[in-house]
Structure 1
Amino acid sequence: MVKFIPSPRIPGVLFFLFLIFPFTTEGQVSSNISVMDSLIAESVAAYENQNSDGEPVHLAINLPGEYSYFEAKILKAFKNKYGAINYGGKREGNFILYSLESVSVIYLPNEENSLFSQQKYKRKVNVRYKIVSAAGAGKDAGGELTHNDVITEDDLPELGNPVYPFTITPVPEENSWGYLLKPAIATAASAILVYLFYTVRNN
């Protein structure tokens, strides 16, 4: 936040307006599908394969048709972890079946919203998965991985991708007081700035 030091040339009211409309710098926010990619990679990285004879991993991937985008991401994650991968081959020996059960994103109201800043939302991205291995290859694993953060109204257009409907979700409606007061405050502030500009210039 940039702080302004008032001077004799800046009226107190104008200084107050600078304070209630702070300048902030927001970091770049990852898209919903990028967060899902990261969670899937995390699920693979956490899996422990117990095969000790050096046999390459025989991998199969099971996922609903609408999640076909993630097939290459899952395969890449296993290659990064184990190196050589026999994909779609025999289902025996050092065999692993990765099932992507669901991915989702929701936006929730943020209790810390202010009338003097842009609307913010809590974002929750969730991935459900299951890993089943052949006997002796490793312990079965699975469950949910969740990413939580806070995003702004300006971030929303960049988060979802219309090509992948599972990355898009409704945004909570702003409460009626905030909806009515924000435009009124902005209009009043603009009017005061114009008035002060001409008053100071004429004096």
Structure 2
Amino acid sequence: MGGRGGDEGGVREALRYGIVREVEGLAPPLRQRALFEQARCDLILQEGPPTPEAQRRLGRLLAGLKAGDEVIVQSLDAFQRSTGELAQLIRTFLEVGVVLRIVEGPDESETLPPAENVRRVLALLAEHEARRPSRSPAGAASRANSGSRKPLSKYQIEYARKLHREGTSLRSLSLLFQVSPNEVWEAIGD
């Protein structure tokens, strides 16, 4: 690791952090590490499969970043956060003055310096959301995600019918049973 992290005169120089994660969709950890070493990272944080403790360690590292620091990942997937959490993290980076760099290969790099246009951030977040296998595209039938699971038990269906006859909206029922309004209607529809 380079000597960029010196602390002469009480002022810490900016550091370059690489985050290696063992996550589906990313290159193997050795390949990620090689990319970050080639990018001359001062500190490479490498974690195995995501665990709550690994997420806490990463959170502590990210909370201590200073203006001018650079975070390098192979993909936004390395953060193991929801799209909303990513939006908040990137916003914090931009506010603090941290540069985010996504290095997909030796000659493939995307850099988001603090002054970068927000539209590019939104495009990256949208791409991240599209790659998440647990999410269905907007407007897709929720039945596609339900698999073989029955959305509501027979007791829930009876109770939902009773509440609906008493005037409870499909939206309220969907919130109560944690399913989509369409699933409620399919279950109780007469």
Give the shorter-chain TM-score range.
under 0.3
Task: Specify which structure has the bigger relative contact order, considering alpha-carbon pairs within 8 angstroms and separated by 6 or more residues.
Answer: 1
**Which structure has the bigger radius of gyration?**
1
Q: What TM-score do the two structures reach when normalised by structure 1?
A: 0.24
More helix by share: 2
